[in-house]
Amino acid sequence: MPLLEVKDLNIHYHVQGGILKAVEGISFSLEKGRSLGFVGESGCGKTTLGMALMRLLPSNGFISDGQIIFDGEDIRKKNEEEMRKVRWQKISMIFQAAMNALNPVQRVGNQIVEAITTHSPLLKKDEAFKMVKNLFQLVGIPGDRIKDYPHQYSGGMKQRAVIAMALACKPKLIIADEPTTALDVIVQDQILQEIKGLQEEFQISIIFISHDISVVANVSHEIGIMYAGELVEYGNTEEVFESPRHPYTKALLSSYPTLNGEKNMLTPIPGETPNLMNPQTGCRFFDRCPNAISSCKINPAEWVTISPTHKVLCYQCGRDCGI
Amino acid sequence: MNAAQLSTDNKNVIRPHWINRFLEGWSIYKKSILGKIGMVLLAVFALMAISSFIPPKINPMYEPMSGVDPYISKATGPSMRHWLGTDFIGRDLFSQLLVGARIAFLVGISAAFMSVFLGTAIGMIAGYAGKFTDTLLMRLADIIMVMPSLLVLLMLSALFSKLSIWFIVLFIALFRWPGVSRVIRSQTLSLKHRPFIEAARVAGASHLRIIFRHIMPNVLPLSFLYMTFQVTSAIIIEAALAFLGFGDPSTVSWGMMLQWVWKTGHMFKAPYWLLPPGICISLITLSFYMLGRAMDEVLDPRLRKEGENY
Amino acid sequence: MVNNSEAILKLHYIFKKYKTRGTFFGPQSKDVIALNSISLKILKGEIFGLVGESGSGKTTVGRLIVKLEKPEKGEIYLDGQEILSLRGDQLKGFRRRVQMIFQDPYQSLNPQLSVLDAVSEPLIIHKIGNNHTIEEITRKTISSVGLSPPDDFINRYPHQLSGGQRQRVAIARAMILKPEIVVADEPTSMLDASISAQIFNILLQMREASNITFLFITHSLAAARYLCDRIAVIYKGNLMEIGPAEEILHNPKHPYTQALIDALPKLDLSSSKKYYNSLRKEERIVKENAGCPFFSRCNVSDETKCGQNIPPMKELGKSHSAACFYA
């Protein structure tokens, strides 16, 4: 049984002038000890998805349909009290601007001790402190910095502290939403290696959410490409990168400048992402797709299985696929 | 389709920006109950101010200052002839109340306009120029802010013996700008380092151009908001001055009416004389305040965000 | 593209420091050195990339060139003319020649001005053309940055545009005066990858069409490779390495450049192994660094040599130089 199974998830927002369909019909599953990356551009619903898994949607957002089965239990059926036990202890999260999540007037170590003791009240304070020391060692913060205040930390160290906090209760699943976006490349690389190492060591499942396809490529076993609230391609990372099938994935890959190989002209994706207030009936990528045919506009895209570990949401690919 | 949708959806409709902004603001304003009450109350007062010209036309004895009922020479209660009664020499209270509304608007709005104008100009100059100019202007603002304005006015009136209503308006404006200038200055400071100001500098824009073209349109909404609050305080200051006997003796204002009640010893004898001006002062300041609160909601970006995201 | 090696812009030993204000309880105010004796030459018609991490001083270089800030020491020459002392009309003339594209398109456009007003403003400031030609030129410029038909856009306000469209408007505003040099300060860091590629291509087209010289400031070596003819790598206010783009990326000599290249996440999964390994596993604890700015993190460095002396720029041939003793 997979650790997390999401079936046909729909998330909507109440906004001025109607309902915004932020996430539509997303299904995936995640095994223990595996990592899954979601990639997409701003507004594609990836952050909303992460928040929904923790049931932390903003007050105007709601899960309108679908199931989230975590560890054999339905997350949607839990009440707030039960959810509080799941958060941090079973599922924890590394937020987008996590470095700002630290309270500036409290010592970093104390904040994590507090987080631990509130969730396991039986633990004594000095035991918790010892735990934090171990955690800091794990994420690569020198033990003598435990009593420092957040402003004495560099950006990378704050991020490490936040990762330590996420690990504190030995969760089964960590949702990392843009964990390295604000960091410089060298530090980003170190943090990603750190997370990867910890994941292998403790067999934690991780969901990475990022706008940067290259970040996700290096850390996750499976990858899901999101576009305008939908999952458009899903599969084993190597397979997706070696033979991307969805036109959006292909376009996304060819719009990234690379370091090696031929210096090709970048081919940007023309146009803009669609309005999610009333999306068109057919494929959402229709307007920007280079090989769309007229029926793409009317018929919703269908999932096509390329291999047992690779599937793509494209009406066209189901026909001839242009392999 | 509501106004907000109109303004964002119809991209092809060419309409001046400020109209769109106004419609957008109005659609938010409409949702505020406070704003609606304030508007209705203000409309009533405006009607009073406008109709203040009518009673003297009907009969010269309704002249609020000089008209005296030939048959009455003491304070009397409401009657058909004098809806709110008369004062101690037989002047009609109702027509006095109507004129009071006119004076309240006149004093409130002109004093507020002047103080907001001064405050905005000084605030923008101080914030944009910085350094010595900023220090100088802001210390000046501090000095004025801590000065006991009533006391100064008492001294001035002792010096000049009689203050005209326009002098009082000017005085209120001169004493009320520092608060506005502080707010506008801080807004200007935060705007000054925004990239669009720097972009204008790189394009070669002069300081005047930056102030008038780029900073002013961004602080004016705030100035307008402050104007409503300034109106409130200007009316109260004028009423207080008049009540204490330092108002313009040739003008009938609500504060002046209250002073006459008190001076002639009718304070607890003639509620029909005491209550109407008192209630009017409270209600008009309250309505301007509610107007300001509702406008605050319009201007507060946290409230506007909800609709702006998508 | 660069047919002659005539320098259009020269930076001469630029030194810039900022004062940090001490917090109420925190440390006293101290000076932070943003740029430490930077010397650069930017050639006519090239796209020059300035690559560095946040806080490296790369943005400061751009701001100094457009005269938004002044250096403490050093000189900047545009076509042989010293620019730091320009005042009045001379400064206005300079503004016509040097423009800037800012990082955040959500902040760099005045929310109260329509696209037409924003883009045409430089023309009005410099009194170019009459009412009719101003609108004509503006339309042309707007469509040249890919906002076409221009009629759809000129009456819109920033909040009615997407991030990519806003950045195009900002580019149009910078281009309308036909400047000789444009400083582009991380113009795509707030945009999605597919939109970034659009912006990159617009910049390339602009250079193609009017031979504008660009200073492209970025944190991404990959973007710099795509756009730039030459690249300079800057770290903590010091120039580390400078040379032709391909040379810097495929034959980096400075350990810092090597570390940057190692750290860059790669799409090509087969080559994700570290190649240079120039970054120390554990940082050295250095009290007062008198030597190389990268000393504490450098794997190659030597305690006495690199810790005590600042390595000078070393010519490595083919206009490639690096500030490292071991290069």
Domains of chain B: 32-308 (1.10.3720.10)
Q: Do the Cβ atoms of A184 and C54 come within 8 Å?
A: yes
Peptide bond into C149 cis (omega under 30): yes
Distance from CA of C246 to the nearest CA of B (A): 32
Say which of C66, C107, C157 has its CB closest to residue B17: C157
Q: Phi first, then psi: give them for residue C278, nearest 5 degrees.
A: -95, 0
Q: Do the Cβ atoms of B4 and A275 come within 8 Å?
A: no
pLDDT tens-digit map of B208-257: 999 998 999 888 888 888 888 888 888 888 888 888 887 777 888 888 88
CATH code that applies to domain C7-250: 3.40.50.300
Give CA separation, B181 vs B79, B108, B224, C142, in Å: 49, 18, 13, 39
Average pLDDT over residues B161-173: 82
Q: Residue A186: list chain C partners with CB under 8 A.
A: 53, 259-260, 263, 279
Q: Are B78 and B93 in contact (CB under 8 A)?
A: no
How far apart, in whole angstroms, are the C-alpha atoms of residue C259 and residue A270?
34
**Quick check: B59 contacting A, CB < 8 Å?**
no
Q: Do the Cβ atoms of A272 and C164 come within 8 Å?
A: yes
Give the pLDDT score at B81.
79
Q: Do the Cβ atoms of B196 and C109 come within 8 Å?
A: yes
Give CA separation, A116 vs A70, A83, A107, A130, A196, in Å: 22, 17, 15, 11, 23
Q: Residue B198: list chain C partners with CB under 8 A.
A: 68, 100, 102, 108
Say which of A15, A275, A276 has its CB closest to residue B306: A15
Q: Do the Cβ atoms of B218 and C96 come within 8 Å?
A: no
How far apart, in whole angstroms, are the C-alpha atoms of residue C159 and residue C107?
11
> The complex's ipTM?
0.86
User: Best interface-test mutation with C: which of A152, A259, A272 has the largest number of C CBs within 10 A?
Assistant: A259
Give CA separation, C167 vs A70, A282, C145, in Å: 42, 30, 10
Q: Do the Cβ atoms of A276 and B310 come within 8 Å?
A: yes
Q: Give me the residues paired with residue C73 across strands.
A: C15
Q: Looking at residue A33, what DSSP letter applies?
A: T
Give the pLDDT score at C296.
81
Both tokens of residue B92? 């009609």
CATH 3.40.50.300 residue window(s) in chain C: 7-250
pLDDT tens-digit map of A190-216: 888 888 888 888 888 999 999 888 888
What's the gap between Cα A14 and its chain centre? Answer: 23
Of all residues in chain C, the one with the smallest CA distance to A258 is C222
The dihedral through the CA atoms of B185, B187, B188, B189 has a sign that is positive
What's the gap between Cα B108 and its chain centre? Answer: 4
Q: Looking at residue C312, what DSSP letter applies?
A: P
Q: Quick one: three-class SS letters along A67-87?
A: EEEECCEEHHHCCHHHHHHHE
Q: Do the Cβ atoms of B307 and A15 come within 8 Å?
A: yes
pLDDT at A90 over 80: yes
Q: Are C147 and C165 in contact (CB under 8 A)?
A: yes
Which amino acid is it at A59? S
Q: Do the Cβ atoms of B202 and C100 come within 8 Å?
A: yes
Q: Do the Cβ atoms of B218 and C112 come within 8 Å?
A: yes
**pLDDT band, residue B140 (cuts 50/70/90):** very high
Q: Do the Cβ atoms of C111 and B218 come within 8 Å?
A: yes
For chain C, helix (H) and strand (E) counts, in that order, are 10, 12
Q: Are B96 and B87 in contact (CB under 8 A)?
A: yes
A223 or B70: whose pLDDT is higher? A223
Say which of C165, C192, C223 has its CB closest to residue A41: C192
Distance from CA of C16 to the nearest CA of A (A): 22
Distance from CA of C82 to the nearest CA of A (A): 35
Question: What is the SS3 assignment for C282?
Answer: coil
Q: Cite the beta strand spans of C94-224 per DSSP E.
A: 98-101, 181-185, 213-218
Say which of A241, A257, A269 has its CB closest to residue C223: A257
10-residue mean pLDDT profile of chain C (327 residues): values are: 69 86 62 85 91 87 91 89 87 91 89 88 89 89 87 85 89 92 90 85 88 91 89 91 89 89 75 71 72 83 80 84 85
Q: Do the Cβ atoms of C279 and A218 come within 8 Å?
A: no
Q: Residue B200: list chain C partners with CB under 8 A.
A: 110, 121
**Quick check: B310 contacting A, CB < 8 Å?**
yes
Both tokens of residue B204? 């070669």
pLDDT at A318 over 60: no
Which of B185, B177, B181 is CA-nearest to residue B114?
Answer: B177
Give the pLDDT score at B118.
92
Q: Are C233 and C240 in contact (CB under 8 A)?
A: yes
CA dihedral A220, A226, A231, A233 (to 10 degrees): -60
Q: Residue A257: list chain C partners with CB under 8 A.
A: 197, 200, 220, 222-223, 225-226
